[in-house]
Amino acid sequence: MGTSETQEIWTNLNRDCVNSDEFLAVVAEEFDAIKRKTDVDYYSGYRQGLIEVLEVVTGHCRSKCSQIGKVSGEISASIFCEISKTIGRTASFTRLMRDAPNIICGNAYVMSCELTFIQEARNMCPSYATGHNFDSYYRASLGGACSYNPNKPDE
Protein backbone atom coordinates (compact mmCIF):
# COMPACT_ATOMS: atom_id res chain seq x y z
CA MET A 1 0.00 0.00 0.00
CA GLY A 2 1.72 3.11 -1.19
CA THR A 3 0.82 6.75 -1.36
CA SER A 4 -1.70 6.40 -4.19
CA GLU A 5 -3.53 3.47 -2.56
CA THR A 6 -3.73 5.28 0.76
CA GLN A 7 -4.99 8.44 -0.93
CA GLU A 8 -7.60 6.37 -2.77
CA ILE A 9 -8.91 4.98 0.53
CA TRP A 10 -9.21 8.55 1.88
CA THR A 11 -10.96 9.68 -1.32
CA ASN A 12 -13.42 6.76 -1.10
CA LEU A 13 -14.31 7.97 2.40
CA ASN A 14 -15.16 11.39 0.86
CA ARG A 15 -12.12 12.96 2.54
CA ASP A 16 -14.45 13.57 5.47
CA CYS A 17 -12.81 13.91 8.87
CA VAL A 18 -15.83 12.23 10.48
CA ASN A 19 -14.60 9.08 8.70
CA SER A 20 -11.02 9.40 9.94
CA ASP A 21 -11.31 6.49 12.39
CA GLU A 22 -12.57 4.25 9.59
CA PHE A 23 -9.69 5.47 7.42
CA LEU A 24 -7.14 4.56 10.10
CA ALA A 25 -8.71 1.11 10.58
CA VAL A 26 -8.73 0.28 6.86
CA VAL A 27 -5.18 1.53 6.37
CA ALA A 28 -3.92 -0.42 9.40
CA GLU A 29 -5.56 -3.61 8.14
CA GLU A 30 -4.10 -3.19 4.65
CA PHE A 31 -0.71 -2.29 6.09
CA ASP A 32 -0.64 -5.43 8.26
CA ALA A 33 -1.53 -7.59 5.25
CA ILE A 34 1.31 -6.08 3.20
CA LYS A 35 3.73 -6.48 6.08
CA ARG A 36 2.97 -10.22 6.29
CA LYS A 37 3.27 -10.82 2.52
CA THR A 38 6.32 -8.83 1.46
CA ASP A 39 10.02 -8.49 2.02
CA VAL A 40 11.55 -5.81 4.25
CA ASP A 41 12.62 -3.39 1.47
CA TYR A 42 9.21 -3.43 -0.20
CA TYR A 43 7.49 -2.99 3.16
CA SER A 44 9.74 -0.03 4.08
CA GLY A 45 8.87 1.83 0.87
CA TYR A 46 5.16 1.43 1.43
CA ARG A 47 5.52 2.44 5.04
CA GLN A 48 7.11 5.75 4.04
CA GLY A 49 4.31 6.49 1.55
CA LEU A 50 1.72 5.61 4.14
CA ILE A 51 3.30 7.88 6.75
CA GLU A 52 3.29 10.81 4.33
CA VAL A 53 -0.44 10.46 3.59
CA LEU A 54 -1.32 9.90 7.24
CA GLU A 55 0.51 13.07 8.25
CA VAL A 56 -1.44 15.10 5.69
CA VAL A 57 -4.82 13.59 6.65
CA THR A 58 -4.34 13.84 10.41
CA GLY A 59 -2.96 17.39 10.19
CA HIS A 60 -5.89 18.48 8.02
CA CYS A 61 -8.50 16.89 10.28
CA ARG A 62 -6.98 18.09 13.53
CA SER A 63 -6.88 21.65 12.22
CA LYS A 64 -10.39 21.56 10.78
CA CYS A 65 -11.93 19.96 13.86
CA SER A 66 -10.07 22.27 16.24
CA GLN A 67 -11.50 25.27 14.39
CA ILE A 68 -15.01 23.84 14.61
CA GLY A 69 -14.48 23.10 18.31
CA LYS A 70 -13.34 26.66 18.96
CA VAL A 71 -16.48 28.08 17.35
CA SER A 72 -18.66 25.63 19.31
CA GLY A 73 -16.91 26.60 22.54
CA GLU A 74 -17.52 30.30 21.85
CA ILE A 75 -21.19 29.76 21.03
CA SER A 76 -21.74 27.44 24.00
CA ALA A 77 -20.09 29.92 26.38
CA SER A 78 -22.25 32.75 25.05
CA ILE A 79 -25.41 30.70 25.53
CA PHE A 80 -24.29 29.53 28.97
CA CYS A 81 -23.57 33.08 30.14
CA GLU A 82 -26.80 34.54 28.76
CA ILE A 83 -28.88 31.82 30.42
CA SER A 84 -26.96 32.13 33.70
CA LYS A 85 -27.36 35.93 33.78
CA THR A 86 -31.05 35.67 32.94
CA ILE A 87 -31.87 33.10 35.62
CA GLY A 88 -29.46 34.60 38.15
CA ARG A 89 -27.56 31.39 38.83
CA THR A 90 -25.23 29.00 37.06
CA ALA A 91 -27.13 27.31 34.25
CA SER A 92 -27.32 23.53 34.25
CA PHE A 93 -27.27 21.24 31.26
CA THR A 94 -30.00 18.63 31.49
CA ARG A 95 -29.97 17.08 28.02
CA LEU A 96 -26.93 14.85 27.89
CA MET A 97 -25.37 14.41 24.49
CA ARG A 98 -23.84 11.14 23.45
CA ASP A 99 -20.10 11.66 23.21
CA ALA A 100 -18.70 9.71 20.29
CA PRO A 101 -14.92 10.05 20.54
CA ASN A 102 -12.99 9.93 17.31
CA ILE A 103 -9.24 9.40 17.38
CA ILE A 104 -8.35 12.36 15.17
CA CYS A 105 -11.33 14.66 14.94
CA GLY A 106 -13.09 14.04 18.23
CA ASN A 107 -10.09 14.70 20.42
CA ALA A 108 -9.13 17.86 18.53
CA TYR A 109 -12.72 19.13 18.62
CA VAL A 110 -13.25 18.42 22.33
CA MET A 111 -9.95 19.94 23.46
CA SER A 112 -10.50 23.10 21.44
CA CYS A 113 -14.15 23.42 22.45
CA GLU A 114 -13.53 22.92 26.15
CA LEU A 115 -10.56 25.30 26.31
CA THR A 116 -12.42 28.01 24.37
CA PHE A 117 -15.57 27.54 26.46
CA ILE A 118 -13.69 27.99 29.72
CA GLN A 119 -11.82 31.07 28.51
CA GLU A 120 -14.90 32.73 27.02
CA ALA A 121 -17.17 31.97 29.97
CA ARG A 122 -14.63 33.27 32.46
CA ASN A 123 -14.37 36.48 30.44
CA MET A 124 -18.12 36.94 29.86
CA CYS A 125 -19.57 35.80 33.17
CA PRO A 126 -16.85 34.98 35.72
CA SER A 127 -19.25 34.76 38.66
CA TYR A 128 -21.07 31.83 37.00
CA ALA A 129 -18.02 30.06 35.57
CA THR A 130 -17.36 27.81 38.56
CA GLY A 131 -18.75 24.73 40.25
CA HIS A 132 -20.38 21.47 39.25
CA ASN A 133 -23.06 22.94 36.98
CA PHE A 134 -20.41 24.88 35.09
CA ASP A 135 -18.22 21.79 34.69
CA SER A 136 -21.06 19.55 33.57
CA TYR A 137 -22.37 22.16 31.13
CA TYR A 138 -19.35 21.92 28.80
CA ARG A 139 -17.33 18.78 29.59
CA ALA A 140 -17.55 16.10 26.92
CA SER A 141 -16.79 13.39 29.48
CA LEU A 142 -20.00 14.39 31.27
CA GLY A 143 -22.09 14.62 28.08
CA GLY A 144 -21.96 18.41 28.01
CA ALA A 145 -21.98 21.00 25.25
CA CYS A 146 -18.49 20.08 24.01
CA SER A 147 -19.36 16.45 23.36
CA TYR A 148 -18.32 15.30 19.93
CA ASN A 149 -21.05 13.49 18.06
CA PRO A 150 -20.64 13.21 14.30
CA ASN A 151 -24.17 11.83 13.91
CA LYS A 152 -27.43 13.73 13.78
CA PRO A 153 -29.05 14.10 17.25
CA ASP A 154 -32.02 11.92 16.24
CA GLU A 155 -29.90 8.95 15.14
pTM of the model: 0.76
H helix or E strand, kind and range, residue 40 = helix 40-87
8-state DSSP, 97: P
* Rounded-to-integer distance, Cα 89 and Cα 114, Å: 21
In this predicted structure, the answer to whether residue 30 has a pLDDT above a threshold of 80 is no
In the structure, what pLDDT confidence band is assigned to residue 111 with cuts at 50, 70 and 90? very high
- 5-9 contacts at long range (C-beta below 8 A, 24 or more positions apart): 5/30, 6/49, 6/50, 6/53, 6/54, 7/53
What's the Cα-to-Cα distance from 45 to each of 3, 50, 55, 131, 146, rounded to whole Å?
10, 9, 16, 53, 40
In the structure, what pLDDT confidence band is assigned to residue 41 with cuts at 50, 70 and 90? low
Computed from CA positions of residues 25, 28, 33, 36, in that sequence, does the dihedral angle turn out positive or negative? negative
Q: What is the mean pLDDT of residues 97-119?
A: 87
Q: What is the pLDDT of residues 112-147, one digit of tens each?
A: 999 999 999 999 999 999 999 999 999 998 889 998
* Rounded-to-integer distance, Cα 92 and Cα 40, Å: 57
CB-CB contact of 66 with 112 (8 Å): yes
